[in-house]
Amino acid sequence: MNFHRPILAIESSCDETAIAIIRPPSELLVNLIASQSQLHACFGGVVPEVASRNHLLTIDPLFHRALAEAKLRPSDLGAVVATAGPGLAPALLVGASYAKGVALGLGIPYLAVNHLEGHLLSPFFLKTEIPKHLSLLVSGGHTQLTKVNRAGDYQLLGRTHDDAAGEAFDKVAKLLGLPYPGGVEIDRLAQSGNPKRYSFPRALMEKGNLNFSFSGLKTSVRYFLEQREMIPDSSELADLAASFQQAVIEVLVEKTRRAAQMEGLSCIGVSGGVAANSALRNSLIALCRECQWEIHFPQPELIGDNAAMIAFAGMHRLIAGEQSSVTSEIVPQWQIYSHC
């Protein structure tokens, strides 16, 4: 399919309402994000019903604002794509339903996009060709290693058996009495802490294993705090945050090394919200320098959930001739390795 008309994308898998428009093959016209993080902070995490209610309030004004900023009329659009999974079902439903309505109203194609594919391709945003590489996707809901042969051709190498890395960060931050979102707070605290002061477990480190498990690490921190019967003072808290963070990072970096060597890959793409963690970035950059590998991170505005990455993933699918029925359902547990 020869796609040159603008593509509008909607992302609403969690607590960000996001809309972006790209003009194929390589022009981002607008990328808007309405975050609900402050709203959910008082709950210590995302409440699905609250998220979906606020998506409903935000999505239509954001759609019209996106068109205005891109200087487009609705009739200028060539296709509408939306995240259909994985994610929170009530939140996904709002974005996907709105996208289908726009597509039906304008008589243009609709495409359901996998949220993970958006993250996976984000380090190569607006590239017409996706290089063969190893993807490390680390977010609040997912931690996985994927061999990417090209856009649309993926092989899962390893994934978490329980908590995702970002989920472990947020849960441990809550144990430490830190504000939500906790991953950012742990990263900040750890910069002044000693990562060797406390020893926490590194799970599934036996040779050849590319899967992850962070639940035991989180539990180990909880037991440590229960034995102390008090929240540590500020200097001890920084050491605790640094020691926990180091345990997560060592596992992520070692599994990345193993996977790349096992698959003979010399190009690494890192994506997902945890890709913003400063210590993880520095450790992965050092690994790639040591091994003489390339490493690619998303642009800062594409690290968290956003619609630009959904538009980009959708563009590759549309160009390949794919589209979805407007009767297709959301898939809250949708894996990137299966089709909707």
For the chain, how many structural domains are there in total? Answer: 2
Give the tens place of pLDDT for each residue, 285-327: 999 999 999 999 999 999 999 999 999 999 999 999 999 999 9
Domain co-membership, 71 together with 177:
no
Domain range for 225 is: 132-297
**Residue 177 belongs to a domain:** yes
Same domain, residue pair 293 and 147? yes
* CATH number, domain with residue 75: 3.30.420.40
Check whether residue 280 and residue 141 sit in a common domain: yes
Long-range contacts of 140-143 (CB under 8 A, 24+ apart): 140/14, 140/164, 140/166, 140/167, 140/170, 140/183, 140/273, 140/274, 141/14, 141/86, 141/87, 141/166, 141/167, 142/86, 142/116, 142/272, 143/212, 143/214, 143/252, 143/272, 143/274
| Residue 35 pLDDT | 77
* pLDDT at 224 > cutoff 70: yes
Residue 167 clears pLDDT 80, i.e. is over it: yes
- Cβ atoms of 244 and 171 closer than 8 Å: no
For residues 289 and 307, membership in a common domain is answered with no
Question: Is the pLDDT confidence value at 335 over 90?
Answer: no
Shared domain check, 292 and 308: no
Residue 340 has pLDDT above 50, yes or no: no
Q: Tens of pLDDT along 65-82?
A: 999 999 999 999 999 999
- Side chain identity, residue 104: L
Same domain as 290, residue 142: yes
Q: How far is CA 70 from CA 21, 26, 40, 280, 303, in A?
A: 8, 15, 30, 35, 22
Within a domain: residue 326? Answer: no
Would 332 be classed as within a structural domain?
A: no
Residue 271 covered by a domain: yes
Let me know whether 144 and 35 are in one domain: no
Q: What is the pLDDT of residues 5-51, one digit of tens each?
A: 999 999 999 889 999 999 999 999 999 999 766 665 666 667 777 77
